[in-house]
Structure 1
Amino acid sequence: MKIQVKFDFLSICNNLLSEKLVRLGIKYKLNSSSEIEILERLSPEDKMLLYKELNSSGIHVIDNHQSILVQRVKNILMEIIKLDNYNDDFKVSAYIEDRLPHSYSYLSRVFSEATFMSIEKFLILKKIDYVKDLLIEDGLSLTEIAYKLNYSSVSHLSRQFKKTTGFSPSYFVNLKKQITTATKKN
C-alpha cells in the first residue's frame, strides 16, 4: 500500500524542538519558527549539551549576528507571503524595518552578502514555491492565487512563475498530474 503525505515542516520542527527541550528539562518559549527563548540561565555544560542535542537532529544554533539577521529577514518574508489582503500601499521594506532595529539598506546588504541574492529575489522564489503549493495542494485558480498574493494581474504572476520555474503555471499543474498518475500506476 502506498499513501501520499504532505508535511507541515513548521509543526514538525516545533514538535521536535519542544520534545528535545523538555527532555533536557529546559524552560523555554518558542517565539517564532526559528527563535527559542531560553527562560533560565544555562551552565556552559548545559548549553553544550543543548547544542549537541539539537545538532544531532539537524538543528543548528545560529550564533553569528549577521546569520541571525538573515534568518530573521527570511522569517519575516515568509510571514509576508502568508499575509492576507495587504493593500497596494504595502511596502516590503517598511514591513521589515518595522520588525527589525536596522535600516532596510543595511539589512539588504547583509542579506545579499550572506545569500548571494537580494531580498526581492528571495521573496519571489518563496512566493513561487507557495504558488506551486496553492496550485497543487489547495487547487486554487491562478486568479485566486494572484489576488491572494497581491499580484497586479494574473499575467504578471504567470510571467514571474515561468521566469522562475521555466514552466507556465498550467504546464506545471499538468506535469504534476502526469507524474502523480504515473507514480500511482507503479
Structure 2
Amino acid sequence: MMKISIDYDLKFLLDKVLDPLFKKYGLEYEFHSLAEIGIKGSPSPQVMNDLQEDLSALGITIINDHKHGLVQKIKKAITTYLVDGEAVKDVKLSTYLADTCNYSYAHLSSTFSEVTYSSIENFVILKKIEVAKKYLNTGNYTLTEIAHKLGYSSVAHLSNQFKNTTGLSPTLYREIIRQKKESDQLRKREYTQIDNEN
C-alpha cells in the first residue's frame, strides 16, 4: 500500500460539497465557522427536513439543539487548543474557550456538564491522553516534549494522568506499540517471502 501526505482546505471542500445541495433548495448560505453555517431567510420545515436527509447521506448532521451545538463547538475548540499548540502559549484554556465560543467560561462549563453529564476538565484529560497516544505512536517525541506540547507541568504529571486513564505508563504503552509494529513488519515480511516463493 502506498501512503501519501495531503494538505487541504476544509472550508473549500465543504463548500464544494454543500454548494450544490443548498442551490438545489434555492438557499443562500455563508460560513460563520467550519461548524456553523448561516442560512438566509426562513426555509420551510419540509425544505430543512429534505436538506437534512441529503446531508445525512454525506455523514453531515444538522444540530438543531443550541446546547448540543455549543458542546460540539467546545470540544472542537479544546482539540484545537491541544493539537495546535495553544496549550503551551500564555493562554489559559478557560480564556481561550470563552474567546472562541463567545460565552463566559462559567456558562460553557455549566452547559457542557448539563449536556454530557461530565465536566470540561474531564474531557480535557481524556483528549490530552488521546493526543499523547498519537505522539507516542509516532515515536518522534520524548515524554518531556509531549508533556510540554500538552501543557503539563512535568513528565510526572503526564505519566500519572496517562496511567490513571489507560492503566499503563506512557513508557509501557510506547513499548507495546513498538513491539506491535515490529511484529506487524515481521508478519508482512513473512507473507511477502511466501508470495515470492509461490
TM-score strictly above 0.5: yes
Give the 3 Å change call, closer, same or farther, for CA 108–28 of structure 1 in structure 2: same
**Between structures 1 and 2, the one with greater helix share:** 2
Q: Given that residues 20 and 53 in structure 1 are in contact (C-alpha distance below 8 angstroms), is that contact kept between their aligned partners in structure 2?
A: no
- Alpha-carbon separation, structure 2, partners of 1:78 and 1:72: 10
Alignment of 1:21 with 2:23, yes or no, is no
| Amino acid corresponding to residue 59 of structure 1 in structure 2 | I
Give the 3 Å change call, closer, same or farther, for CA 18–131 of structure 1 in structure 2: same
- Alpha-carbon separation, structure 1, partners of 2:62 and 2:41: 17
Q: More displaced, 97-106 or 59-68? A: 97-106
Partner of 1:154: 155
Per-residue CA deviations over 1:46-68 (Å, capped at 9, x if unaligned) read: 43332111112332110101111
| Amino acid corresponding to residue 142 of structure 1 in structure 2 | L
- Alpha-carbon separation, structure 1, partners of 2:54 and 2:12: 14
Per-residue CA deviations over 1:86-120 (Å, capped at 9, x if unaligned) read: 13xx4222222223343322221210121121001
Give the 3 Å change call, closer, same or farther, for CA 115–104 of structure 1 in structure 2: same
Give the 3 Å change call, closer, same or farther, for CA 7–154 of structure 1 in structure 2: farther
- Alpha-carbon separation, structure 2, partners of 1:129 and 1:102: 26
Partner of 1:130: 131
> What SS does structure 2 have at the residue aligned with 1:36?
strand
Partner of 2:89: 86
| Amino acid corresponding to residue 55 of structure 1 in structure 2 | S
Partner of 2:194: none
* Gap runs ≥5 in structure 2: 189-198
Instruction: Provide the TM-score with structure 1 as the length reference.
Output: 0.79
| Amino acid corresponding to residue 126 of structure 1 in structure 2 | K
Partner of 1:69: 70
1:155 Cα deviation after fit: 0.9
Per-residue CA deviations over 1:104-142 (Å, capped at 9, x if unaligned) read: 222212101211210011011111111111121361111
Per-residue CA deviations over 1:23-69 (Å, capped at 9, x if unaligned) read: 3236544444422344x447435433321111123321101011111
Q: Given that residues 62 and 68 in structure 1 are in contact (C-alpha distance below 8 angstroms), is that contact kept between their aligned partners in structure 2?
A: yes
Structure number with larger C-alpha Rg: 2
Alignment of 1:119 with 2:116, yes or no, is no
Q: Given that residues 112 and 118 in structure 1 are in contact (C-alpha distance below 8 angstroms), is that contact kept between their aligned partners in structure 2?
A: yes
Q: More displaced, 134-143 or 94-103? A: 94-103
- Alpha-carbon separation, structure 2, partners of 1:147 and 1:176: 22
Partner of 1:103: 104
| Amino acid corresponding to residue 116 of structure 1 in structure 2 | Y
> How many pairs align?
180
Structure 2 counterparts to residues 52-67 of structure 1, below 5 A = 52-67=53-68
Instruction: Provide the TM-score with structure 2 as the length reference.
Output: 0.75
- Alpha-carbon separation, structure 2, partners of 1:162 and 1:27: 50
| Amino acid corresponding to residue 174 of structure 1 in structure 2 | E
| Amino acid corresponding to residue 134 of structure 2 in structure 1 | D
Give the 3 Å change call, closer, same or farther, for CA 13–54 of structure 1 in structure 2: farther
Q: More displaced, 104-113 or 42-51? A: 42-51
